[in-house]
Amino acid sequence: MLGINIDMPGWIIRATTILLPTIFLAIILVQPWVEPKWMFLDPLTSAEFAPECCPPYFGFVSTLGVMLWTITAAISLFAALIIFISRQNLPLLKFALTAGTLSGLLAFDDAFLLHEKVFPAFGFPQNGVMAIYVLLTLAYVLASWRTIFRYDFWILAFGGFAFAASLFIDIYFSSLLPYLVYLEDSAKFIGIVCWTSFHITTLGRVLGQNTSNQPNRQSNSLNEFPAASTQTLSGENGT
């Protein structure tokens, strides 16, 4: 019985991961109907600062980013459950579990503006929250570095560079000037796409390889059974 093979050339994954969000963002920027800034900013900020409230396109790009965070969290945590139940290797379990947990936390933060509005309202500074996220990301890398470097690391590295650029603009400029909003949120969206692409393709490959190996293990156990039965019957006939 043939196993499932879901591998595809790495260059296709990399090209798709970079080109699709770039084309999408270019369309957002050049479309002539609405101000792109309100599509990039989150819905609450757009509603607060826009001249009129509240068209359905407010926060379009930001909401898609939250959806990608959520998709990554759901797939990663479900994969972690499968790995745990099947008692596969611990590094892979740590990779899926930490990726899913961090993705879910960032989705929650983006959806409800935790580091921008909620925590500062309780006296915890925004930069302090960002520092915690950086430490959590480092913990994810330390827990998963073997799996990260084993697969398409360059997608995650490019996404990390995009996140760093977005974070730099957010911390050192923190402005609603249109060109800064375009740069910050475009970099952030590309980083989210890279994060999602890396984890979905990596977990798909790993689980696909395990599925391919499973029939071989079953067939080997079935092949051993007749031999053991023949030996048993031979022993009984001899007695």
**pLDDT tens digits for range 200-224:** 999 998 887 766 555 544 444 445 4
pTM above 0.75, yes or no: yes
Residue 174: pLDDT band with limits 50, 70, 90: confident
How many angstroms separate the CA atoms of 176 and 174, rounded?
7
Count CB neighbours of 73 within 10 A.
22
- Whether 33 and 51 have beta carbons less than 8 Å apart is answered as no
- Please tell me what DSSP assigns to residue 59: T
Tens digit of each residue's pLDDT (9 = 90 or more) over 21-39: 999 999 999 999 999 999 9
Q: What is the rounded (10 degree) CA torsion for 147, 199, 171, 26? A: 140
- Whether 34 and 57 have beta carbons less than 8 Å apart is answered as yes
How many angstroms separate the CA atoms of 198 and 72, rounded?
10
Averaged pLDDT, 42-71: 94
- Please tell me what DSSP assigns to residue 175: -
Residues 6+ apart with CB under 8 A from 49: 41, 176
Mutual angle of helices 178-238 and 153-172, in 10-degree steps: 150
Residue 9: pLDDT band with limits 50, 70, 90: low
Residues 6+ apart with CB under 8 A from 108: 114
Sign of the alpha-carbon torsion through 92, 94, 200, 28: negative
Sign of the alpha-carbon torsion through 187, 188, 194, 198: positive
Where are the domains positioned within the chain?
Answer: 61-213
Count CB neighbours of 117 within 10 A.
13
Q: How many helices (H) and strands (E) does the chain have?
A: 9, 0
